[in-house]
Amino acid sequence: MTNCNNQNRLVSVFDDPPRSNVLLLSCMDQRLLDDTVRFMNELNLQNRYDQVALAGGAMGALQLLNPNLPPAKRWQGVFEAHLATAINVLHRPIKDVFLLDHLDCGAYKYLHPDPDIQAKYRKADLCQMVPLHQNELKNFACEVKKFIASEHKKAEDEFDKAHSACDSKELDKEGKQCWDYVSKLAWEKVEAWQNIRVSYFVMDLLGKVKQLDVPNGQNATLPY
């Protein structure tokens, strides 16, 4: 079972930027589209990330329902399907998942399933909104880590199954082809799902981004 209390970054992405690909989850909000691209460009990620946009970002994925998608009813299923497609089908070398929320988010004000949180968010000033985002981001990051761990386990099981099938053959030409297949495809999938970090951030209305999942006192902000 994934321990979600384990921080998977000791320093912020601003001090240790991704060296491979990223999958970015953001809100759909029209006001911050250019700032989101700028944030990713500042981390030298031009054309090195895939993006999923859902109303409310991590909160939308964690809390909101899509009646057209039983049995995976939450938007979470949509996000996970995109992550799995990027890795398994498109073979993106994703080693970082970014969850990017923003302050003054309409989804928190009008779509959050808890009316108390809606009311609290509507009354909050920008600083008071941050812990509400932090809570949703932390919980959704935990779900993403669990999904990644389960995909990794699935890939390991597939590798073991293929491995045993090869072991049952003589080491003739067929056996050799079998080993080639196992090492090339099944093991690549195991590697694709390991060592993926999940980081989360909140953007203010000027486009300034703060990372919230790093150790105490290191809530780094990208300097402009």
Q: CB of 98 within 8 A of CB of 23?
A: yes
Considering beta carbons, is residue 110 or 224 the nearer one to Zn ion? 110
CB of 105 to Zn ion, least distance (A): 3
Q: Binding string to Zn ion for residues 66 to 105, with x set by CB under 5 A, is what?
A: ---------------------------------------x
Beta strand 209-211 with 197-203 is: antiparallel
CB of 27 to Zn ion, least distance (A): 3
The residue among 129 and 222 lying less far from Zn ion, judged by its C-beta, is: 129
Count the residues of the shown chain that bind Zn ion, applying the rule CB under 5 A.
4
Among residues 27 and 137, whose Cβ is nearest to Zn ion? 27
Q: What residues numbered 199-218 form the site for Zn ion, per CB under 5 A? A: none
**Distance between CA atoms of 51 and 25, rounded to whole angstroms?**
6
Sheet with 49-53, strands from edge to edge, namely: 49-53, 21-26, 94-102, 197-203, 209-211
Q: How far is the CB of 162 from Zn ion (least distance, A)?
A: 43
Q: Which contacts (CB < 8 Å, 24+ apart) does range 155-164 have?
A: 155/186, 155/189, 155/190, 155/192, 155/193, 156/190, 158/186, 158/189, 159/186, 159/187, 159/189, 159/190, 162/186
- Least distance to Zn ion, CB of residue 67, Å: 21
Beta bridge partners of 23: 50, 97
Residue 18 or 56: the one with the smaller Cβ distance to Zn ion is: 56
Residues 22-51 that bind Zn ion (CB under 5 A): 27, 29
Q: How far is the CB of 83 from Zn ion (least distance, A)?
A: 20
- Cβ closest to Zn ion, residue 20 vs residue 128: 128
Side-chain-side CA neighbours of residue 208 (13 Å): 8
- For residue 193, the minimal CB distance to Zn ion (Å) is 29
| 211/219 Cα distance (integer angstroms) | 5
Is 132 a residue that touches Zn ion (CB under 5 A)? Answer: no
Q: Scanning the structure block, which residue is given the tokens 């779509």?
A: 111
Task: Please identify, using beta-carbon distances, which residue of 111 and 142 lies nearer to Zn ion.
Answer: 111
Given a contact cutoff of 8 angstroms between Cβ atoms, the answer to whether 97 and 213 are in contact is: no
Residues that bind Zn ion (CB under 5 A): 27, 29, 105, 107
